[in-house]
Amino acid sequence: MSSLRTIPLAALYTEDETAWLDRMSELARYRSLAEFDFDNLSEYLSDMARRDRVSVRWLGVQPGGFSLLKTMKT
């Protein structure tokens, strides 16, 4: 089995997302931007934002902080 460090980041993103996140975190920590996988980072962040918006809608959170959860507790 090859070391995860030898797998190109773009390939690692599809093979092992958690390992990709670990590598990206390490690159960010050491400011190694030349090695960053910006294409997949952009996709990953967009997916996270979309997932968060869906979760917020599902929980009933409204603009301004009104939440169905708050009204259910009272």
Cβ contact 35:10 at 8 Å? no
pTM value > 0.95? no
What is the rounded CA–CA span in Å between residue 23 and residue 46? 19
Angstrom distance (rounded) from CA 36 to CA 61: 34
Helix (H, G, I), strand (E, B) or coil at 61: strand
pLDDT per residue over 11-69, tens digit each? 999 999 999 999 999 999 999 999 999 999 999 999 999 988 887 776 666 555 555 55
Q: Return the amino acid letter for 55.
A: S
pLDDT at 55: 77
pLDDT of residue 24: 96
**Token pair of 19 as six digits:** 């390992």
Residue located via tokens 């169905």: 68
